[in-house]
Structure 1
Amino acid sequence: MLLEDKVAVVYGAGGAVGSAVAQVLAREGAEVFLAGRTRVKLDRAAEAVEASGRRRAQVATVDALDEDDVGRHLDSVLNVAGRVDISVNAVGFDNGEQGIPLTDLTADDYCRPIAEYTRTHFVTAKAAGRQMVAQRRGVIIALSNPMAKAPAALSGCFGQYAAAVEGLATQLAAELGPDGVRSLCLRPTGMPASALEHDSAPGRMWRRAAERFGIGIDELLETIGGGTLSGEPVSTGDVAEAAAFVASDRAKGLTGTVINVTGGAVAD
């Protein structure tokens, strides 16, 4: 197994991507701690994780925008496990608008997603990074989106916040690398399955966008998941498998970089 005896924290673990990541990390041998805002979703994710792994998943409601809350949770992880080897931020917010021209957005509508996504990634990476520096090992994994590389009209500020998250991941790698800590970012393309989860943040945003475009949600999701070179959309499982590999010791040469998980939909 890739992650035998590793300790992982997954933020946003109640969401479609975070839950998939947690399941694969557990399957590969990691002890997984699930953090998120909605207990019922976390409990559902924990059941799936326990079915995938050999250990009971630890669940906690955590506000990943709050430094104190994240710090207290990480302290509790350290009390139980003694260390943290992997930190994954898969947090999603229903805080942005697509299908609206930039010139029609208010400054608050434009800035809020950028502020919140960069804040959560900074807060969680800071907490994990301090502990990983002390133990002189660890991997921090962020998630962005394809608009960071390929701007798309009517996509709001999604490309800008993703570019900021990618920049944070690479700078962390430069600063923490001498202490044995790797930092990188996964850049997946649109995953239609992530919108099908009941009451998911991507689903709510894409449904609003579909209404603005005057099309059905299924048609929009087909477009969002299209463009891959295989013709098949990227799945949450695909992203989770990539996360497990880059978190493993087999990927020691990967840090300070963005991993393209778009299925070729966005070329490097």
Structure 2
Amino acid sequence: MLLKDKVVIVSGIGPGLGQHLAIHCANEGAAVVLAARTPDKLDAAEAAINALGLNTEVLKVPTDISDPDACTALVNAATERFGGVDVLLNSAYTGGKMEPVEDADLTDWRKTMDTNFFGSMQLSLAAVPSMKKRGGGAIVMVNTMVVRKAMAYNAGYGASKGALKTATAHLALELGQYGIRVNSAFMGWMWGPNVEGYVRQAAAEQGISEQQIIDGIAEHIALKRIPTDANCGKAVIMLASDYASEVTGACLDVNGGDFIP
């Protein structure tokens, strides 16, 4: 088990990647702290974990990571229940408005930055003291291929995640002396609720089949298929585990070869 006896916080619990990350953590032996703004999503993730039959210890904490006090309260709750935090998976995000840069609503960019950049950093900094006390830890930032490969109408989202990429590198450099590793996983297209919804909408708007939309996306991916969010989540777990004990400050592309440096 890659995370046996670890205490893991997963932010951004919801249908899709966040829930899969929580399930992977449970399967790998961790105690799981679930964080999301919506209690219903926390309940759904807890039910999915309980269905595994592993007797996983689960703590649910409604959290808006854009609120610094909420980030502190989340870590305090995890510490009170489990004694500390070993791993933080920063999966919470907002996509912001999809629009041309020349028509950008910069107020929306700031809101997107509050979650994707400041929120992820606030939660990371809240977790660091606990990790120091435990002699080390791992933080994984779930980032996006949009930072690596520009995509139309994603500038606000990409800018927020680009800032996170830069800060993550500095965090890795500074925290290494405490045994805390900080890495990023850059996700591309992932087959899950969000992409499924996009495919349905795009097919309806263009008057073609959903399979044609899927094929058009897969054509640009080296593996010729859209990776699933469940499988992409496994790369995040690897970075959080001792299998990556010598890895920090890394940028791992998890996109089936859609972007190859």
Same-fold call, TM > 0.5? yes
- The Cα of 1:138 is off from its aligned counterpart by 0.4
1:38 to 1:225, Cα distance in 2 relative to 1, 3 A: farther
Equivalent residue runs for 1:196-235 within 5 Å = 203=197, 206=198, 210=202, 214-215=205-206, 218=210, 223=216, 227-235=220-228
Structure 2 distance, partners of 1:233, 1:207, is: 12
User: Any runs of at least 4 consecutive aligned residues in structure 1 with deviations exceeding 6 A, and if so which?
Assistant: none
Q: 1:263 aligns to what?
A: 256
Structure 1 distance, partners of 2:147, 2:245, is: 25
Instruction: Write out per-residue CA displacement over residues 191-249 of structure 1, whole angstroms, 9 at most, x where no aligned residue.
Output: 1313168xxxxx5xx589849x9437946566556522111111111122112111111
The one-letter code sitting in structure 2 at the alignment partner of 1:38 is T
Aligned-residue identity in percent: 27
Structure 1 distance, partners of 2:127, 2:218, is: 32
The one-letter code sitting in structure 2 at the alignment partner of 1:73 is L
1:261 to 1:174, Cα distance in 2 relative to 1, 3 A: same
Q: 2:186 touches 2:255 (CA, 8 Å); kept in 1?
A: yes
Structure 1 distance, partners of 2:235, 2:47, is: 22
Residue 155 of structure 2 aligns to a residue whose secondary structure is coil
Structure 1 distance, partners of 2:72, 2:93, is: 20
- The Cα of 1:106 is off from its aligned counterpart by 2.5
The one-letter code sitting in structure 1 at the alignment partner of 2:67 is D
Q: 1:43 aligns to what?
A: 43
Q: 1:50 touches 1:56 (CA, 8 Å); kept in 2?
A: no
Q: 1:2 touches 1:29 (CA, 8 Å); kept in 2?
A: yes
Structure 2 distance, partners of 1:207, 1:245, is: 29
1:226 to 1:30, Cα distance in 2 relative to 1, 3 A: farther
Equivalent residue runs for 1:10-49 within 5 Å = 10-49=10-49
The one-letter code sitting in structure 2 at the alignment partner of 1:170 is A
Structure 2 distance, partners of 1:119, 1:215, is: 37
- The Cα of 1:257 is off from its aligned counterpart by 1.2
Residue 206 of structure 2 aligns to a residue whose secondary structure is coil
Equivalent residue runs for 1:144-163 within 5 Å = 144-163=143-162
2:233 to 219, 233, 240: 240
Q: Please, what TM-score do these two structures have when normalized by structure 1? A: 0.87
The total of aligned residue pairs comes to: 258
The one-letter code sitting in structure 2 at the alignment partner of 1:7 is V
Structure 2 distance, partners of 1:55, 1:229, is: 37
Structure 2 distance, partners of 1:194, 1:254, is: 31
Deviating more after overlay: 217-226 vs 257-266: 217-226
The unaligned stretches of length 5 or more in structure 1 are: 198-202
The unaligned stretches of length 5 or more in structure 2 are: none
Structure 1 distance, partners of 2:104, 2:201, is: 14
Q: 2:13 touches 2:35 (CA, 8 Å); kept in 1?
A: yes
Q: 1:188 touches 1:234 (CA, 8 Å); kept in 2?
A: no
The one-letter code sitting in structure 2 at the alignment partner of 1:233 is I
1:223 to 1:121, Cα distance in 2 relative to 1, 3 A: farther
Q: 2:90 aligns to what?
A: 89
Q: Please, what TM-score do these two structures have when normalized by structure 2? A: 0.90
1:124 to 1:15, Cα distance in 2 relative to 1, 3 A: farther
Instruction: Write out per-residue CA displacement over residues 73-119 of structure 1, whole angstroms, 9 at most, x where no aligned residue.
Output: 2111111111211101111325x122x32101222233332333101
Q: 1:13 touches 1:19 (CA, 8 Å); kept in 2?
A: yes
